[in-house]
């Protein structure tokens, strides 16, 4: 099975007594929410396999995370973080610009002899944009996990144009990489379903770690992940995401720029964020993986998304998407946050599916 889903149709479905592929896409036997709830995934016998990328975060202790109050480090004054991360400007050598927005830039650079990524903000940025840049760019400070991109340093020699330094990821932004995989030229990378499931598992492990550290991420999407040359995925902060991916964010009545089409229904309607709302966004991220970063709900007006989700409508099964993956997505989009699967259950399900894919190689 491959993941080249060009000309994918955005077909929506409504949650009802049974949930499967919309009739306009095709027919067949498809997993339903009810079937998953009746037969939840059992613990994988491969839970210690390196090939399946399991870490100790899959232990039963994580089951207690739903009882922990998660926090948003972006709301914490970053002054202490900035002080601890300060590095001399002389140690940073900016090379080429890899991305540029209205008020931000991303560079390939050198930190000493090490190749790194540097995020910079232009002097024309507003004070609010500058404050967001610093608070969002340092939110991963103090975290240490193989699937989390942590900030290495900050330079503020010019307070209006600070520099944030990160580890380098050879293939760069995950969303841009997936879009490039749609191309039919010699330079495109052909991803298998196994590759995509492996990426989903890595991102899930990163999310489990964030929740274990009481971090509510709130903006999980492929645009906020990076990829190295070995297809190792890391969740990054969402610093500059609004600037570099403006089509993914919308200002609604509260005049706050949000990733409306990735948000859980309770986040959209009531501004309520939790581990369960991150699970919802994770379901949309899997949808992005299986469509090679198509835009979710592209035909829906952002101002109508709240009522659309409240009325039970969800993204449909992408063309070529395995039933198992669509079942996972659908389970993540249950209206009641308490009914959505905890992260360890999702991990177990995806591990078993990954192992089944390995048997066909």
Distance CA 348, CA 76 (A): 34
Look at 70-74, 188-192, 323-327 and tell me which has the smallest mean pLDDT. 188-192
Active-site residue identified among 72, 186, 187, 219: 219
By C-alpha distance, which of 111, 57, 134 is closest to 342? 57
Question: What integer is the mean pLDDT of 81-107?
Answer: 96
- pLDDT band for position 75 (cuts 50, 70, 90): confident
State the average pLDDT over residues 306-334.
95
Question: For a pLDDT cut of 70, what percent of the chain falls above it?
Answer: 80
Predicted local confidence at residue 254, as pLDDT: 73
pLDDT band at 61 (very low <50, low <70, confident <90, very high): very low
Residue matched to tokens 């101002």: 303
Residue 62 has what pLDDT? Answer: 41
214 has a pLDDT exceeding 70:
yes
Enumerate the CATH 1.10.510.10 domain ranges in the chain, comma separated. 12-67+171-358
Whether pTM > 0.75 for this model: the answer is: yes
Mean pLDDT, all residues of the chain: 84
pLDDT category at 74 given cuts 50, 70, 90 is confident
Is pLDDT at 12 greater than 50 in this prediction? Answer: no
12-67+171-358 is classed in which CATH architecture? Orthogonal Bundle (1.10)
Indicate the pLDDT class of residue 63, thresholds 50, 70 and 90.
Answer: very low
Predicted confidence at residue 358, as pLDDT, reads 87
- What is the pLDDT confidence band of residue 184, given thresholds at 50, 70 and 90? confident
Angstrom distances, CA of residue 120 to CA of 114, 133, 161, 162 = 18, 9, 7, 6
- In this predicted structure, the answer to whether residue 65 has a pLDDT above a threshold of 80 is no
171 contacts 233 by C-beta, under 8 angstroms: no
Looking at residue 45, its pLDDT comes to 29
Write down the residue that tokens 């992940």 correspond to. 225
Predicted pLDDT of residue 101: 94
Q: Give the number of other Cβ atoms within 10 Å of residue 28's Cβ.
A: 9
The predicted pLDDT at position 6 comes to 37
| Predicted pLDDT of residue 2 | 38
In this model, does residue 66 exceed pLDDT 50? no
Instruction: Identify the pLDDT of residue 361.
Output: 58
Residue ranges of the chain that CATH labels 3.30.200.20: 76-167
Which range has the worst mean pLDDT, 163-167, 180-184, 267-271? 180-184
What's residue 49's pLDDT? 36
Furthest CA-CA distance within the chain? 63
Please spell the DSSP secondary structure of 196-239, one letter per residue.
HHHHHHHHHHHHHHHHHTTB-----SGGGEEE-TT--EEE---T
- Integer Cα distance of 272 and 252 in angstroms: 16
The pLDDT of residue 187: 67
Q: Is the pLDDT of residue 163 over 50?
A: yes
Question: Is 185 among the catalytic positions?
Answer: no
pLDDT at residue 68, rounded to an integer: 63
Q: Could you tell me which residues are beta bridge partners of residue 2?
A: 192
Tens digits of residue pLDDT in 322-347: 999 999 999 999 999 999 999 999 99
CATH of 76-167, one of 3.40.50.720, 3.30.200.20, 3.40.1440.10, 3.40.50.300: 3.30.200.20
State the Cα–Cα distance between residues 50 and 60, nearest whole angstrom: 19
Query: How many alpha carbons fall within 13 Å on the CB side of residue 41?
Result: 24
Confidence of residue 186 (pLDDT cuts 50, 70, 90): low
Whether residue 23 has pLDDT greater than 90: no
**pLDDT tens digits, one per residue of 217-238:** 999 999 999 999 999 999 999 9
- Position 124 pLDDT exceeds 50: yes
């Amino acid at each position: 099975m491959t993941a080249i889903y060009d000309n994918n149709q955005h077909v929506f479905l409504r949650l009802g007594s049974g949930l499967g592929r919309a009739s306009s896409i095709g027919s067949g036997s498809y997993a339903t929410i009810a079937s998953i709830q009746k037969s939840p995934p059992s613990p994988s016998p491969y839970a210690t396999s390196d090939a399946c990328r399991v870490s100790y975060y899959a232990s039963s202790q994580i089951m207690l995370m739903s009882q922990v109050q998660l926090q948003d480090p972006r709301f914490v004054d970053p002054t202490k973080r900035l002080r601890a991360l300060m590095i001399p400007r002389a140690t940073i050598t900016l090379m080429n610009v890899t991305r540029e927005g209205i008020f931000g830039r991303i560079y390939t650079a050198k930190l000493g002899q090490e190749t790194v990524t540097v995020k910079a903000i232009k002097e024309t940025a507003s004070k609010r944009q500058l404050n967001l840049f610093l608070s969002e760019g340092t939110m991963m400070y103090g975290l240490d996990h193989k699937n989390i991109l942590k900030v290495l340093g900050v330079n503020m020699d010019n307070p209006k144009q600070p520099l944030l330094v990160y580890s380098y990821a050879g293939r760069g932004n995950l969303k841009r990489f997936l879009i490039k995989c749609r191309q039919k030229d010699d330079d495109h990378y052909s991803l298998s379903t196994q590759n995509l499931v492996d990426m989903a598992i890595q991102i899930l492990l990163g999310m489990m770690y964030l929740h274990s550290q009481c971090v509510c991420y709130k903006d999980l999407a492929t645009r906020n992940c990076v990829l190295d040359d070995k297809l190792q995925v890391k969740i990054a902060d969402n610093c500059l995401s609004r600037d570099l991916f403006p089509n993914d964010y919308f200002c609604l009545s509260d005049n706050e720029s949000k990733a409306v089409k990735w948000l859980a229904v309770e986040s959209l309607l009531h501004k309520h964020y939790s581990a369960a709302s991150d699970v919802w966004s994770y379901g949309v991220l899997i949808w992005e993986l299986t469509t090679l970063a198509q835009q979710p709900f592209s035909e829906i007006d952002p101002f109508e998304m709240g009522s659309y989700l409240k009325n039970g409508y969800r993204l449909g099964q992408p063309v070529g998407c395995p039933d198992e993956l669509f079942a996972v997505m659908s389970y993540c989009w249950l209206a009641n946050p308490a009914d959505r699967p905890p992260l360890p259950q999702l991990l177990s399900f995806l591990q078993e599916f990954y192992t089944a894919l390995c048997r066909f190689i």
